Amino acid sequence: MSGDTRPVGWIRAARRTYAKFPEPVRDRVNAALTVAAEGGKADIAKPLRGFGSGVLEIALRYRTGAYRVVYATEIAGTLWVLHAFEKKSMKGIRTPKREVDLVRARLARLRRGATAMSEKDIELVHGSGNVFRDFGDPQADLKQAKAVLAARIIVVLDDRGLAVRKAASLTGFAAADFSRIRNADLGRFTLDRLMKMLAALDANARVTVKVDLSRSAPLPQPSQVR
């Protein structure tokens, strides 16, 4: 895993819609996108039917809503978010045809000219390398660091073919914790806990995490994190 997370770029219309999603939804999706940018895949992301392995859909339920974000893993060195929408019907899991057709059109357009386009040429918004910061999160660096560690844990689990129960038996950490990590649900974790879980899985793991505290809100005290 590289020291620099690949940037997450956006189709402008998708970004506008996504910015209106509830904050807890954006936290989970931002973590899943960071995992993807680091070469992993959160379990809440699945290949979108009809597009092959390079286009994935994040599906997340929150309260009474069902939220979807579709991204392409790499075009011109960037992970691109093609579409974001709230699924109106809670019946069934299939993505509506109208949304699939929109993704297909945007993907084709992006592939034709991503390397030459600028933000003004078409509806593209380029990312900074920290998707949390791109949406003004006051704890952007901390949350990205946690997502980077989660990505590394997911990669180790996948490389070794470890189910969460097996990982729990090997490390002493709860299977539920590994399940939360796999699903990009990182709100309960401190950096220290994630580092210890990674070290327990892979004694040779080396991850450099840079947190710019001047750009983040104060770190939560241990008593604040459950």
Task: Work out the pLDDT band at 216, boundaries 50, 70, 90.
Answer: very low
Give the domain ranges of the chain.
8-130, 140-224
CA end-to-end span of the chain? 28
**Structural fold of domain 140-224:** 434 Repressor (Amino-terminal Domain) (1.10.260)
Cβ partners under 8 Å of residue 128, min gap 6: 7, 134
Are 67 and 23 in contact by the 8 Å Cβ rule? The answer is no
Alpha carbons 151 and 144: distance in angstroms, whole number = 10
pLDDT tens digits, 39-81: 999 999 999 998 977 999 999 999 888 999 999 987 888 899 9
Residue-wise pLDDT for 193-211, tens only, equals 999 999 999 867 766 655 5
Largest Cα–Cα distance in the chain? 53
Q: Please, which residues bridge with residue 62 across strands?
A: 65
Q: Is the pLDDT of residue 178 over 90?
A: yes
Check if CATH label 3.30.70.20 holds for domain 8-130. no
pLDDT at 119 exceeding the cut of 50: no
Tokens of 204: 């040779």
The confidence score (pLDDT) of residue 123 equals: 81
Dihedral sign from CA coordinates of 52, 114, 146, 225: negative
Confidence of residue 217 (pLDDT cuts 50, 70, 90): very low
pTM, two decimal places: 0.85
- Helix (H, G, I), strand (E, B), or coil: what is residue 180? helix
